[in-house]
Chain A
Amino acid sequence: MVNNDHLRRRTYSFVTLIVSALVIATVAACSKSPNSAELRPIPISASPTSTTPPQIPPTLGLSKPSPTPAAPEISEVASAIARGFDKSVTIDQSHAPAFVTGDFNGDGSQDLAVVTKASDSALPEINNELANWTLEDPHEVPVPGTKGADQPRRAKPVKAEPNDQLLAIIHGVGVEGWRNSEARQTFLLRNAVGAQVTVQTAGKLPESPPANVPLRGDAISETVNGHRGLIFWTGARYTWAPQR
C-alpha cells in the first residue's frame, strides 16, 4: 500500500508538473504574438511635413509670390544667359524688346524670356540630345486637353539651324527668380520670336484670348509669321495657341 501511495503521489506530481509547464509555455508563447499590427499612421495633423512650417529654403520658395523684382539690367540678363546656355547663344539686342519677364510656369517665381541668336559654331552643342536645355518648337506642342494632345505632332526632334532666332527661357527659383544662381531650367524655342511682344498675366488676358486656354502662369503674347498668339507653359513644355 505504501509503495502504491508513493507511486500515485509521484505520478500525480509528474502530471501536475507537465500540465503546469505546458500552461506556462503557452502563456509565454502567446505573450509574443507573431501577428503584431503595424503602427497606425500618425495623424496627418502631427505629420512632420504638415505641422512644421514649410521646410523650404528661401531659394526654393515654390509657391510664395515673389516681391516685385527690380527691372532687369542688360548685364544681369547677359549673366543669366551665360549661366543657362554657356556661350551657345547670345542676346539679340537688335530685337525690341530683347527680353521680358513674367511667371511663365506659374510657380510664383519670376522667369525670363530673351531673344537670342545662336552662333553657328554652337549649333552642335545646341542640338545635342544631352544638352542642358530643352529645344522645342511651341507650334509643334499640342495644347493640353485638345484632340490629339496625347500624341506628339512631330516625330523627329526639333533642330536649330544657322541664323535662327531662339527665344531662350529661364525658369526662376525662389524669390530671386531667374537671377538665382540655381535657376538653370532652360528652354530654347524655335519659331517663337515675334513682334509686339507683351506678357499677359494669367486670368487677365485683355485681348481675345483663345477659348479656354489652360494657362498655368503668365503667357507671352506676340505676332509670329503674321499670326497673333500666345506662348505658354503646359506643365511640361511651351506651346502656342493662336489668338483671334
Chain B
Amino acid sequence: MSTYLKILIFLLFAVALALPLWTTTTVESQSATEAPTGFDTLTNDATFVSQATHDADRDTFQEVDEVTRGLGPVYNAQSCAACHQNPVTGGISQISELRAGHTDGVGNFVPATVTINDGGGLVGITIANRSLINQRATCPGVVTDVTTHAIVYNHPNEQAQERVPGAETVRARRMTTNVLGLGFVECISNTTLQNIPNGQPVGMKGELTAVPVAEAGGALRIGRFGWKSQDASLLTFSSGAYLNEMGITNRFNLSEVTTLCDDVSDTTPCADNPSIRCGEDPENDIDAFARFMRASKAPSRDARLAATASAQAGATLFNQIGCNICHITTLTTATPGTLINGGAFTVPNALGNKIIHPYSDFLLHNVGTGDGIAQVIDPNTGQLDQSMANKMRTAPLWGMRTRNELMHDGLNYTRNDAILRHAGEATGVINSYRNLSTTQKNQLIDFLNSL
C-alpha cells in the first residue's frame, strides 16, 4: 500500500470519527423549534425532568411552611403557590407585595426603614434600608402542635409586624408574576438581550441590568426576572424569594430580615452536604423551586380566540402601531450545551433552541408608570442605580388573559385603561392606538385576551 494511500485512509477515518461530534451542535443551532406551551402540570420534556420529579417539585412549590420550619418572622405568604397559582401552580395571582421608601434631598430613592416591636415605649428593632414591606409576621403568636397539642412556638408579646412609616412616602405595589415557562427565559442568552436595544428606535431603547448570580459566586448576568429585572437566574430568584417573601433562610441567603421571635437556626448544615450551611432550608427546596420553573411549559394562548378574524387583525395592529417594539413577540433561546448563569447551568436540550412568544423584551423602560423605587445595584458603584427608579421591566404579556388587575401595581382594571396609562417612551405608540377606530381597538383587545 502506498504511503499516500495510507495517509488518505488515515485522514478519512479520522474525519469519519469526528464528523458526528461536529455536526450534532451545528444541526441544533440551525433548527429552533417552538417551545411547548400549556397551562398544565406536565413537564416540558420528560428527558430533562421526569414527570415524577416535576410532580414532586410542584409539591414542594405548593408546600405550606410553618413557624417551626422557619417561616417568617416577617413574610408575605406560606408557600410559593400562594402567590403563583392561576390557573395552575406557577401562574399569576391577584396578590401584590408592598414596597416603600422616600427620596432624599437630591431626589435619590432611599429604601424604607421600619421599626418593629416598639410599642409601650420600647426602643424597638430597626429593619433598615429595605424597600420590601412584608405584610405578615409570625409574632405575636403562640402555636401548638396539631398532634401533641404542646406549645411549639411561644412568642405572645413580641411584635414583628412591619408598618409603613408616614415619612416613607414613596409607596408602591407590585403584582406577583407568572413563573411558568421561565426556564426558557433563563436560557435566553445575554447576547440576545443585549442586541434588543439596537433594534429599538431612539427614545425607546430598553435599559439592561447586570445582576449577580448567587450560585456563580456573584458573576454578573443580564437581568430578566422581576419587575426591575433584578434577577437573572431562577435559582438566585428562588433563593431571594424564599427569604424575602416567606422568611426562610437558605444557602445563598443566610441572614434573616429580623431575628425577633425566630426560633429556627440559620446555621443548619445542608442535608446532602454538611460542609455547607443551608439555614432553614436544609433540604434545598430552592433547587426544587428552580427545577419546577425550568420544567414548566410556557403559557399557552386561547387557541379558539386566537383563531378568530378579530384577534388576528388585532395581532396585526399590535405590530403595526408598535406595541411589539417593547412587547417583543418572539425570542429564541440559546443553543443546547451553552453555559449560562456564570457557568453554573448548562442549557439542556429541553430548553435550548426554543422559540418563545413572551411579548416582552425583559428590559427596563420609562413609560410613565415608574414606581420611583430603585432596586438594582449598579455594579460599578455598589450603590442603588437611581436611573432605574422610574423604569419598569416590560411586562411579559403571555398569559395576560388570566389577569384582571393590570400593570405592575394592578391599578388598571380594563385593557383600555392599561393601554392609555402608558406614556413616556410609549407616547407615540399609544397615540397611534388612540387613532384606531373602536372596531380596531376591540380587535387589539381581542388579541390581548387571546394571550
* Chain A interface residues (CB < 8 Å from chain B): 13, 17-18, 20-22, 24-25, 28-29, 32, 34-45, 47-50, 55-57, 60, 62-63, 105, 107, 128-134, 144-145, 149-150, 152, 171, 173, 182, 184-185, 211-216, 234-237
Selected interface stretch from B65-73, B265-273, B294-302, B338-346: B338-346
- In the bound complex, residues from chain B placing their C-beta under 8 Å from that of A45 are 380
- Are B202 and A57 in contact, with the CB atoms below 8 A? yes
- Are A62 and B172 in contact, with the CB atoms below 8 A? no
- In the bound complex, residues from chain A placing their C-beta under 8 Å from that of B198 are 48
B 70-114 binary contact with A (CB < 8 Å = 1; else 0): 000000000000000000000000001010100000000000000
- Are A21 and B10 in contact, with the CB atoms below 8 A? yes
* Chain B, Cβ-Cβ closest to A25: B17
Q: Per a CB cutoff under 8 Å, which of B22, B366, B423 touches A28?
A: B22
Q: Per a CB cutoff under 8 Å, which of B10, B14, B169, B337 touches A215?
A: B169
Is B278 in contact with chain A by the CB < 8 A criterion?
no
5 residue pairs, one from A and one from B, having the closest CB atoms: A145-B171, A25-B17, A212-B166, A29-B21, A34-B337
28 residue pairs of the A-B complex, CB under 8 angstroms, read A20-B10, A24-B18, A25-B14, A25-B18, A29-B22, A35-B339, A36-B337, A41-B190, A43-B210, A43-B379, A44-B379, A44-B380, A47-B207, A49-B207, A55-B205, A56-B203, A57-B203, A107-B424, A130-B438, A131-B416, A144-B171, A182-B431, A184-B430, A185-B423, A212-B166, A214-B171, A235-B411, A236-B411
Q: How far is the CA of A37 from the CA of B190 in the complex (A)?
A: 10
Is chain B's interface secondary structure helix, strand, loop, or mixed overall? mixed
Answer whether A34 and B191 are a contact pair too, CB < 8 Å, given A24-B14, A55-B205. Answer: no
Question: How far does the Cβ of A147 sit from chain B's closest Cβ, in whole Å?
Answer: 11
Residues of B in contact, count (CB < 8 Å): 84
- Are B346 and A35 in contact, with the CB atoms below 8 A? yes
- In the bound complex, residues from chain A placing their C-beta under 8 Å from that of B64 are none
Q: Per a CB cutoff under 8 Å, which of B6, B189, B412 touches A236?
A: B412
- Are A55 and B203 in contact, with the CB atoms below 8 A? yes
- In the bound complex, residues from chain B placing their C-beta under 8 Å from that of A182 are 427-428, 431
Q: How far is the CA of A13 from the CA of B6 in the complex (A)?
A: 10
Answer whether A40 and B13 are a contact pair too, CB < 8 Å, given A49-B208, A134-B420. Answer: no
